[in-house]
């Protein structure tokens, strides 16, 4: 399995993740909400690949928040599994991004989700346009 982070624009961003005991329930199965945490990390690294970090965006009064999520679980992850978390941009709108994300163990699909994130003003949490430079970079890489 590839142990490095893939770059934006390569179709599907990939982030390797190891399952630790803190990610599991008492039976050694990945606790269901932790798949969302893994997906958040992949989206964060996806944006970092374009040169944008959450704290820098917040410093410019922008923040991305999850607007909605549809998730489907197929098979459980287990302690010590090496997983790959994907993030593929399905739509880049004026004020939001839609992602299709998957959690894989090798070729086996464990979990998949459609996640919409909205860009908001950090101080008011009101919707706003994605910063123009970021939107241009995303559109350039994903066309």
| Number of residues that this document lists for the chain | 143
In this structure, are residues 79 and 112 in contact, taking their beta carbons and an 8 Å threshold?
A: no
Q: How far apart are CA 55 and CA 44, in angstroms?
A: 11
List the catalytic residues: 25
Question: Helix, strand or coil for residue 87?
Answer: strand
For the beta sheet containing 62-73, the strands, ordered from the edge strand earlier in sequence to the opposite edge, are 13-18, 82-92, 96-105, 108-121, 62-73
């Amino acid at each position: 399995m590839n142990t490095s982070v893939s770059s934006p624009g390569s179709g599907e961003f990939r982030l390797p993740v190891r399952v630790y005991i803190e990610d599991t329930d008492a039976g050694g199965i990945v606790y269901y909400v932790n798949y969302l945490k893994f997906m958040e990390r992949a989206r964060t690294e996806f944006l970092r690949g374009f040169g944008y970090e959450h704290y820098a965006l917040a410093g410019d009064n922008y923040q991305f928040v999850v607007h909605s999520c549809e998730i489907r679980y197929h098979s459980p992850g287990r302690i010590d599994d090496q997983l790959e978390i994907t993030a593929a941009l399905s739509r880049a709108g004026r004020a939001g991004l839609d992602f299709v994300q998957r959690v894989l163990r090798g070729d086996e699909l464990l979990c998949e989700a459609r996640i919409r994130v909205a860009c908001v003003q950090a101080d008011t949490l009101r919707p706003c346009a994605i910063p123009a430079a970021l939107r241009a970079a995303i559109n350039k890489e994903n066309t």
